[in-house]
Amino acid sequence: MTLRPPAATSPAADRRDADAKPIQVGLLGIGTVGSGTFNVLVRNQAEIRRRAGRGIEIAMVADLDTARAEAIVGERAHVVGDARKVIANPDIDIVVELIGGYGIARTLVLEAIAAGKHVVTANKALLAVHGNEIFAAARDKGVMVAFEAAVAGGIPIIKALREGLTANRIEWIAGIINGTTNFILSEMRDKGLDFDVVLKEAQRLGYAEADPTFDIEGIDAAHKATIMSAIAFGIPVQFDKAHVEGITKLQAADIRYAEQLGYRIKLLGITKRRDNGIELRVHPTLVPARRLIANVEGAMNAVVVQGDAVGTTLYYGKGAGSEPTASAVIADLVDVTRLHTADPDHRVPHLAFQPESLADTPILPIDDVVTSFYLRLQVADQAGVLAKITGILAEHVISIDALLQRPSQDVGAEGGSKTDVIILTHDTVEGQMRRAIAQMQALPTVLAPIVSLRKEELA
């Protein structure tokens, strides 16, 4: 049976009927995500029109490489080398920014807003650093800035946090939100290799960029965690307050010991509500191996959200790539198409909370964060060494959860018997742990820099 669309009898349907010209989109940048967006929009245009109530058409594309852009879009869009020609075109309703970074992208987004265009962007760096300025400018002009593709690529986590979970007081979010580092960590665990070796392999296979700094130093994940934190807790974006550690110092030995204790090491973006503020941090983290998120392998992303009403929810999928990210960009295009005629005050607020209701809850300094720890100490294998170490932890009111002692792999030229002591602690304030580590490190029987990693039970 064929279902016909209902007759245009309602005011909304009348409006759609009268407004049948496809909404006009200008793309700034047609690289991996831009070409995916173009192709998926063309391929699924009929379905998208039925959902949006109106066609969505990429009418203009700006890219420095005009020949490559023309090869992708053919006759279907007007290609220009200058992004400002897109912004200046009065026929363009929505500008999609896919340039990246916070240089020219910021200028162009602000100019597009000033010209009264709605903006869709996949640019997490831009929003994490300049989001407050951009959202304020958009509010003043009554335009939308949509950014589903900025966090976890194809996973609709922004929609989930901003709308699907809107009943909840969100308690915490923990996510694998960088595919490159998750791929590297998976390979390190599977093959027992050190970071440097796997990074080279990841670059050879195209999983890591030639300059992988943003990924491996945790900066990309921190941009995404910053955006999720703002939406979850109704605070401004504050990337400068995030604590960021990457995976470059991670050693194969710690991945192995963590495994023996029932844990996997993942680079997590974590944001948590506490009585005295909000935690916002990215770092390698031990997670119980039985948790679903601990089993997210390769370049996949996953985000766990804890809400007071819903409990724990988990979102899993591709966090990057041409069509997965295009999926998120087009979802935003459909949202903007549906809502662009709505009164701006009745649209979904950029950061989920009404702008006048954003809170000034502080982001806690890392010393005030509460978490449990994994410690590895290489010590002289002598009587009384362990007693000294546990004594220092007790002095700082740090309680031990588990302890493992293994012969050290590192025999050393100077001879003498060495052993690795691995300790898991219960929750403690980070500043206390830092002071305890300094004291333990000063012991003459502690023979190498102490390795400390944070641990989250995610219960």
Q: How far is the CB of 19 from ligand HSE (least distance, A)?
A: 35
Q: How far is the CB of 118 from ligand HSE (least distance, A)?
A: 22
Distance CA(3)–CA(122), nearest Å, equals 36
**Residue 177 or residue 235: which is nearer to ligand HSE going by CB?**
177
Q: How far is the CB of 120 from ligand HSE (least distance, A)?
A: 16
Clarify whether 224 is annotated catalytic.
yes
Q: Are 30 and 38 in contact (CB under 8 A)?
A: yes
DSSP one-letter code for 294: G
**Residue 178 or residue 371: which is nearer to ligand HSE going by CB?**
178
Out of 224, 266, 272, 418, the active site residue is 224
The identity of residue 200, as a single letter, is K
**Binding positions for ligand HSE, rule: CB under 6 A:** 178-180, 215, 220, 319-320
Give CA angle at 164 (162, 166), nearest 5°: 60
Tokens representing residue 286 in the block: 């031990």
Q: Are 446 and 440 in contact (CB under 8 A)?
A: yes
Tokens representing residue 79 in the block: 């290609």
**Residue 32 or residue 439: which is nearer to ligand HSE going by CB?**
32
Q: Are 28 and 108 in contact (CB under 8 A)?
A: yes
Q: How far is the CB of 320 from ligand HSE (least distance, A)?
A: 4
Phi-psi region of 274 (alpha: psi -120 to 50; beta: other; left: phi over 0): beta
Q: How far is the CB of 227 from ligand HSE (least distance, A)?
A: 11
The residues, ordered by sequence, that sit 6+ positions from 176 with a Cβ below 8 Å of its Cβ are 182, 266, 267, 268, 293, 296, 300, 301, 302, 303, 319
What are the residue numbers of the active site?
224
